[in-house]
Amino acid sequence: MNVLLAGGAGYIGSHTAVTLIEAGHNVVIVDNYDNSCEEAVRRVEELTHSTIKHYEADVKDHDALDRIFKENDIDCVIHFAGLKAVGESVEKPVAYYRNNVDTTLTLLETMKENNVKNIVFSSSATVYGAENASPLNETMKKGTCTNPYGWTKWMMEQILEDAAKADDELSVVILRYFNPIGAHPSGRIGEDPQGIPNNLMPYVSQTAVGKRDHLTIFGDDYDTPDGTCLRDYIHVMDLAEGHVKAVEYALTRKGTDIINLGTGTPYSVLDIVHAFEKANDLTLKYEIGPRRAGDLAVCYSNADKAAEILGWTAKRNLEDMCRDSWNWQKNNPNGYKK
Ligand code: NAD
Ligand code: WQD
């Protein structure tokens, strides 16, 4: 199958590219490198001993996408292309709505014009909002989001569902990711945040490598066993394998399916700190700080639907996630930059 990865040079896209190629599929990448770089694509080529057709283009650019569809016989699109920093989305809401919603609309328009009928979409657990209690399952109504990033995911899900209702031939698979961490076991590709990381695992690994002085744990007074927040961390290679199953599934049916990709097992912030120290035989400097605005105490998936529909469950454990995150960070202290 020929799969177009929109935003395929990014963290999840690059790991998915490796896994798709290893499963025998052909991959085409389009990315504007807004939050990534061509070096990531080069390393995917190195890992897979293959040449990947890739385009530097904005997914909002109708003519560029039209050309890509015309030059490649695409069977399925995976739509990773988006801005994803929650805090930044509060400061720059218009840029987030413009980029995230418009990429989705442009993809749907150019897919229709080129008779491409299958799309897998990167959504997020954030659409469950605060109203739903974990374990979160896909039959729960979408909740109230606390930031523009979350609303863009909420809206894009709605747009995709409406597009599928209006076109009997369209197949939409919406994947709601929980908290992806880890890296390819080779240490050649991984998460490369620009500036100060917003997310826990990059902050932990940058603290371990000495780029940050210490980790601040955002609150230890939540109603959880150790007082720190619980999340559903999932290894990015498991997530990548979920995408292979999702594109293969997309081609077998029509309409919309929404599927959680998580492990179903919650871990606390302190669990992550201690697992990282143990897996990598090091000590992390950390202190307890105030709560971060907008954080939920508990967020984890019910992962049954992915098992039933896709035949997929996460295989890697917390130790694997911590070991592979550190392997990437220590071998690439400045990310993809030399
Ligand atoms: P990422 O930033 O590493 O990858 C996104 C890629 O999209 C980047 O390479 C970026 O350059 C590209 N991009 C952005 N706007 C573009 C545009 N207009 N045209 C072309 N390329 C564009 O992020 P990621 O962690 O790999 O996330 C991939 C997707 O999954 C995103 O949509 C994100 O919102 C979603 N998601 C991520 C997480 C997470 O924690 N990482 C969780 C849930 C959902
Ligand atoms: C995890 C836990 C923090 C940093 C975000 C988005 C969500 C999805 C995944 C895209 C929380 C704590 C963090 C730090 C800390 N992304 N923490 N110190 O907030 O669960 O989810 O990424 O869709 O939409 O909101 O992930 O990694 O930021 O935080 O104590 O320096 O780590 O409070 O409990 P989060 P995270």
Among left, alpha and beta (phi > 0; psi -120 to 50; other), residue 181 is beta
Backbone angles phi, psi at 264, to 5 degrees: 85, 0
Q: What is the DSSP letter of 309?
A: I
Q: Is the pLDDT of residue 251 over 70?
A: yes
Pocket test for ligand 1, best of 28, 30, 33, 35 (most atoms within 8 A of CB): 35
SS (H, E, C) 23-69: CCCEEEEEECCCCCCHHHHHHHHHHHCCCCEEEECCCCCHHHHHHHH
Pairing mode of beta strands 230-231, 267-268: antiparallel
How far apart are the CA of 73 and the centre of ligand 2, in A?
38
Rounded Cα distance, 199 and 191, in Å: 11
Neighbours of 67 (CB within 10 A): 14
Among left, alpha and beta (phi > 0; psi -120 to 50; other), residue 257 is beta
Pocket test for ligand 1, best of 31, 39, 84 (most atoms within 8 A of CB): 84
Q: What is the DSSP letter of 291?
A: P
Which of the residues 96, 128, 149, 336 is marked catalytic?
Answer: 149
Q: pLDDT tens digits, residue range 37-73?
A: 999 999 999 999 999 999 999 999 999 999 999 999 9
How far apart are the CA of 89 and the centre of ligand 1, in A?
13
Backbone angles phi, psi at 196, to 5 degrees: -75, 125
Q: Which domains does the chain have, with CATH numbers?
A: 2-180+234-262+301-314 (3.40.50.720)
Mean pLDDT of the chain: 98
Structure tokens at 296: 């939920």
Of residues 194, 191, 211, the one with CA closest to residue 40 = 191
Helix (H, G, I), strand (E, B) or coil at 83: coil
Q: pLDDT tens digits, residue range 106-161?
A: 999 999 999 999 999 999 999 999 999 999 999 999 999 999 999 999 999 999 99
33: annotated active-site residue: no
C-beta 32 within 6 A of ligand 1: yes
How far apart are the CA of 296 and the centre of ligand 2, in A?
9
Ligand nearest the Cα of residue 134 is: 2
pLDDT the model gives residue 164: 98
Taking the alpha carbons of 306, 324, 52, 104 in that order, is the dihedral positive or negative? positive
Helix (H, G, I), strand (E, B) or coil at 298: strand
This complex has an ipTM of 0.99
pLDDT the model gives residue 49: 98
In the beta sheet, which residues pair with residue 215? 286
The Cα-based distances of 99 to 7, 18, 65, 134, 295 in angstroms read 12, 26, 15, 30, 24
Q: pLDDT tens digits, residue range 174-203?
A: 999 999 999 999 999 999 999 999 999 999
- Helices and strands per DSSP (H, E), number in the chain: 11, 14
One-character DSSP codes across 186-226: TSSS----SSS--SHHHHHHHHHTTSSS-EEEE-S-SSSTT
Pocket test for ligand 1, best of 4, 19, 61, 80 (most atoms within 8 A of CB): 80
**Mean pLDDT throughout 6-16?**
98
What is the CB-side half-sphere exposure of residue 113 using CA atoms within 13 A? 14
Atom of ligand 2 nearest to the CA of 86: 25
The whole-model pTM stands at: 0.98
C-beta 239 within 6 A of ligand 2: no
Q: Is the pLDDT of residue 338 over 80?
A: no
Q: pLDDT tens digits, residue range 295-323?
A: 999 999 999 999 999 999 999 999 999 99
Pairing mode of beta strands 179-181, 76-79: unpaired
C-beta 10 within 6 A of ligand 1: yes
Q: Which residue has a Cα nearest atom 27 of ligand 2? A: 199
How far apart are the CA of 295 and the centre of ligand 2, in A?
8
pLDDT the model gives residue 161: 98
Ligand nearest the Cα of residue 41 is: 1
